[in-house]
Amino acid sequence: MAKSLFIGAMCLLTAIALPAAAQPKEKITYAHLLDPAYDAVMWAINNGKVTSNLIEVETRGLAIPQLIQATSAKQYDAIQTAVIAVPPAQSRGLHMRILAVALQAAPAGEGAGIWVKNDSPIRTAADLKGRTLGTYGLRSTGVTVVRIALNKTYGLNVALEGGDMRLVEIQAPNLPGALAAGQIDAATLIHSQAFRAAQSGEFRVIAQTDKDNIATFGLRFITAINVSYPEKLAARPAAFREFNRMFRESARYVLENRKEVFTAVGRQNNLDPAFFDWWFDKASNVPGFVGEEHIKAIDTVWRLAKELGMIQDYPEARSVVWEEAMRN
């Protein structure tokens, strides 16, 4: 009798325990900019170096037009978006909450250079008056902060029409070729394009506009943030807290394991691992949280973007930060 009761109790415990053990992890889907640098940022998550007992993170790199479309469609749980995309989205009823800072100018300020051919007569950004400047996206945050520097540091009229220079939009992969062919006088090369331009010896930089903005405003501007949507956050706050933790740890892992990550991602993208050293040290930071200086930088970018006519109005940045976002 006692043996039967023992066996019955064990069966009951097993029946209770097995479903819990078989419980699948929640999934958080995350879309980010399609770029080798961000392959490095997410490498630790994608390769099982940063894991969780609670969630599984599924990542995907998207080109900028796809990111814009996916943001409006709420296609992903979390998504990287441009800083100046948030105010107009909110005015249209698309409410987002900031989870973390995803891209910030590095202290060295080399992430937003303006490039010309070596034999160009253009020596400084002030010489762009009357010239053609090619960009990868006239309404992007990255080009907006370049325009801010050209206006505030060099005194140029940077209006998209009728300004001191002709601003044209060219698909990002085609910018170096257009510059080399003389179709444009200067170009806003970023990320691996800027690194390759410097390595080639065919181009030179005439202005580091991130550095100019740091000198003018005392702030390192933020161009990209991770966001989600109020209803998604309310439904699964614990899962998003865990996602934020994993994102920050992945960004830290790459800096603590450079050789491992840079070698793997460089091979994958046919890119010299030295690019990643330059990018993380001189061009961009990925904080992975939202601090007071970040809030101040976002407010400042929004104010200056309004002055340029890029946005009509904007909220206080603090009001659109998720209340459970990591703050340091």
Confidence of residue 2 (pLDDT cuts 50, 70, 90): very low
pTM above 0.85, yes or no: yes
Q: Ramachandran region of residue 294, left (φ > 0), alpha (ψ -120 to 50) or beta?
A: alpha
CA 249 to chain centre: 16
Which of 167, 187, 217 represents a domain boundary (last residue)?
Answer: 217
Q: 247 and 304: one domain? A: yes
pLDDT of residue 15 exceeding 50? no
Q: What is the mean pLDDT of residues 10-31?
A: 66
Q: 212 and 175: one domain? A: yes
Which of 196, 217, 238 represents a domain boundary (last residue)?
Answer: 217
Asked if residue 5 belongs to a domain, the reply is no
Closest CA to 321 of 129, 107, 161, 99: 99
pLDDT score for 22:
52
Which of 217, 251, 279 represents a domain boundary (last residue)?
Answer: 217
Confidence of residue 141 (pLDDT cuts 50, 70, 90): very high
The one-letter amino acid code at 244 reads N
Local structure of 100: helix, strand or coil = strand
Local structure of 79: helix, strand or coil = strand
Tens-digit pLDDT profile for residues 146-199 = 999 999 999 999 999 999 999 999 988 899 999 999 999 999 998 888 999 999
Tens-digit pLDDT profile for residues 296-316 = 999 999 999 999 999 999 999
Q: 196 and 127: one domain? A: yes
CATH number reported for the structural domain that contains residue 202 in this entry: 3.40.190.10
